[in-house]
Amino acid sequence: MGYFAIPTAVFGFFFSSLLTMLFWNLVAPWVGLGGIGYVNAMVITIALWLVIAPIAAAISKRTKV
């Protein structure tokens, strides 16, 4: 882990939230759902990170030989 690991993760979180909001608002009308704001996109992004991070860590530990 380098010196810039945490700032990079913070930037990645906010950028992921922005992409979540943009893609949700792009796809939502096709599915019949309402749009979401940036704060809701942040909540969705945190939920996804909390689910995917342990899975990714377990897979990376398993595949190291």
Q: Per-domain residue ranges for the chain? A: 5-63
Q: Compute the distance between CA of residue 57 and CA of residue 49 in angstroms, rounded to an integer.
A: 12
CA atoms within 13 Å, Cβ hemisphere of 9: 9
pLDDT on residue 65: 62
pTM beyond 0.85 = no
pLDDT band at 5 (very low <50, low <70, confident <90, very high): confident
pLDDT band at 3 (very low <50, low <70, confident <90, very high): confident
pLDDT in tens, 12-60: 999 999 999 999 999 999 999 999 999 999 999 999 999 998 998 888 8
**Cα angle value 27/47/34 (rounded, 5°):** 30
